[in-house]
Structure 1
């Protein structure tokens, strides 16, 4: 095995030792990743490399040129003698190690791996039609360009008519030779035997019968016993098709089926409580839960947009960077955030065109009666694929933290509303699963929250 193969093997070992995704979500540094590029730490294996002595910069050796003899003192080490302290020198050992420390993935790959890791199976439904494309030529109309004429269908219709209306002309001519019969009696006899011949045709052929041939047969019965009657299929096989009776009514023109391609659009409204009761540990749990949700839904949808709302007693819209680092204080009125969310969604993200997710998080502490009188009615008025509330209470629920419980009780029969509780990092992935688990995995079959 050569050096190149050794290097490749070391790289493979390093990537295989990438930090477990679930462990990364629970305990890893999520702030090191961007919204469109996730960096998962790798337990780095140092790659082997040759270390060369720079002879032109001093050292111990033998030979001419004033080099010291064996055992002769050489003085204090000079800069660049390999002591590792000169970080500015190019090529010092370990200088480039950082760039090998992460495994990078985009949100789509992150979503696929999280599906596999947590056993999720979220299949987003497209809403907005972004284009109409031509599919297979399955539709037919009565008009169209000649190039789209369905000739196969036209031929089949003509052939059916040929088989239905064709009759054995020779057999009928033999019937005209029966002694004492007339065109009218021969026509009547044909009708009785379901021979589809017209009286006009018999009359036109009557005069073609030679006088010496008339009276060849004493009766129709004698004629039938001596003359073989053939079917239309037998005649076609024997003589081939001379003509097919086409009609304009049989013409059909092929048109492609129009297929609608729908874009999988999603808007995610992230709401977080930044009131005075949201201490550092609670804030960290909110960010640790919401960050992977952001990445996951970006990877699942063609067009993902995010709305970030912070609130204490009032609510205001912020950008992503501010949302994941905001500090505030004051009282708590959760309904203010849902009022703003409703306003934003109705103005820019109509339910008919967008998948909607409304995720809120906080410590479940809310102003008196705000949850029952305002928040729950607002949640019912906002149609969404999923409403979720994440309660972050390290060490257990506080006495006055009742918001999550009240929401849970109000929507106990609604599968589109989820309440998850996170008391520590170890609960984060379970909360994400609760929020994103497919509706079919729940017992209830209620329609999405807010839909009528």
Structure 2
């Protein structure tokens, strides 16, 4: 392997060492990314290179006349222009080093998160944007001759022949039994499930020549001496020319009408901004909600986001404000759901997929969860309601909101998810808990 090959291999190793997706979500700098582009830091490996000595020294074995004698100290090396981080005048440098990132869009992020966490969310389109003709899989009884399905028409005719045909010669032989009457032949045929009418038997009975009547002593004698031929044998012997075709057998291929549906989603993010939501709790909310936004943006054709902050009251905010707000007020979570219900009126359930994500430290005003929040969660149609509890130091005594939701909805409800985030290491588990809860059943 030559030096050039070794250099290429070294470069390839460096480019592939981007931060692991789960580590990035749990511990990385999420703020360096935008709504449409996720920047994941790459662990840069410096490439080897030759470097010439900057100092002006003579050739090999040559001195400048000031070389110290043996045993004398040589002193400290003197700085040379261009050495160090400062400029030529010795001032500190002001230009920052470059940071390398692996850039991915939300669609790629969603795909990689599916693989990382083992998710299989398959969004469903709701709003019909176009109807178009699909493959010719439907059949009708009328249509242009060019779409006539000959194979299906033959099958219909063949089914009729199998259902209505019988061995006529065998029945004529039965009519020759001594003393037999048409009614006796008809009753025998009914017992054999032969599709023959009484009128046909009476006509066949009349056509028997007098000298052939009494040819057989009994029906049993006919059965023992005359070979019966089933319909399949008759068709093989006579060929398909004897398969009857009727107008009602005709089937015409018709294109299936396919509805092209747009996958629309609105995500309502709710956050407690009361005085108890200190910096660490706010950071955990951001670290959980941001990847959820990226994921759903990558999964749907059209994604819109609504951000609601609340203490004892709720108000709509922009995303840039959402994670940084802190209020000194109390907490009334139902106020956020009241506002969410109002804002969701602009996104009809018939046309939009909906996700309602709320987060806080599980502290709520007395009886608000049971009397107001739970009924509203049941009344607001959504693919999924989720609540994320952020308690870095563990549960507080009055932090009961998440527990009350779990107690009411249970852990198997496919429309409500409850997750607990006590630190960064819990974030990916919480995201999996939320995204894997939604049912795959059709609406």
Same fold (TM over 0.5): yes
Length-normalised TM-score, structure 1 = 0.69
- The answer for the alignment partner of 2:334 in structure 1 is 335
Aligned to 1:430: 429
Q: Cα deviations across residues 18-70 of structure 1 (Å, max 9, x unaligned)?
A: 3232222222111111222222222211123344689xxx95557xxxxxx84
1:183 equivalent in structure 2: none
Decide whether aligned partners of structure 1 residues 123 and 168 sit closer, same or farther in structure 2, where only a CA change above 3 A counts: closer
Q: Is 1:362 the counterpart of 2:360 in the alignment?
A: yes
Structure 1 residue 394 displacement after superposition: 2.4
Q: How many residues align?
A: 401
Corresponding residue for residue 148 of structure 1: 147
Verify: 1:111 aligned to 2:110, yes or no: yes
1:219 is displaced (CA, Å) by: 11
Deviation at 1:280, TM superposition (A): 1.4
User: What's the counterpart of residue 383 of structure 2?
Assistant: 385
Partner of 2:323: 324
Matching residue within 64, 68, 79 for 1:71: 64
| 1:110, distance to aligned residue in structure 2 (A) | 2.5
Of 265-274 and 406-415, deviating more is 406-415
Q: Which runs of structure 2 are paired with 1:14-93 in the superposition (5 Å)?
A: 14-51=14-51, 59-60=56-57, 70-71=63-64, 81=82, 85-86=86-87
Instruction: Report the Cα offset of residue 298 of structure 1.
Output: 2.1
Q: Equivalents in 2 of 1:403, 1:236: separation in Å?
A: 76
Alignment of 1:92-241 (within 5 A): 98-99=98-99, 101-157=100-156
Give the distance between the partners of 2:201 and 2:316, measured in 1 at CA: 86
Structure-2 change in CA distance of 1:328 and 1:10 (3 Å)? farther
Q: Summarize the Cα distance change of 1:78–1:318 in structure 2 as closer, same or farther, 3 Å threshold.
A: same
Alpha-carbon spacing, 1:6–1:134, altered in 2? closer, same or farther (3 Å): farther
Change (3 A) 1:128 1:2: farther
What SS does the aligned partner of 1:391 have?
A: strand
Q: CA deviation at 1:161?
A: 7.3
Q: In 2 relative to 1, CA 308–160 (structure 1 residues): closer, same or farther, beyond 3 Å? A: closer
Change (3 A) 1:154 1:220: farther
* Per-residue deviation, 1:13: 1.9
Query: What corresponds to 2:274 in structure 1?
Result: 275
CA distance in 2, matches of 1:234, 1:270: 72
In the other structure, the counterpart of 1:210 is none
Aligned position for 2:180: none
Go from structure 1 to structure 2 and tell me whether the alpha carbon gap of 1:198 and 1:245 turns closer, same or farther (over 3 Å shift). farther
| RMSD of aligned residue pairs (Cα, Å) | 4.8
Report what 2:400 is aligned to: 402
- Call closer, same or farther: CA 1:156–1:440 in 2, change over 3 Å: closer
CA distance in 1, matches of 2:404, 2:232: 80
**Which stretches in structure 2 are left out of the alignment for 5+ residues?**
67-77, 89-94, 173-185, 190-195, 204-211, 217-226
Partners of 2:380 and 2:159 in 1: CA distance: 60
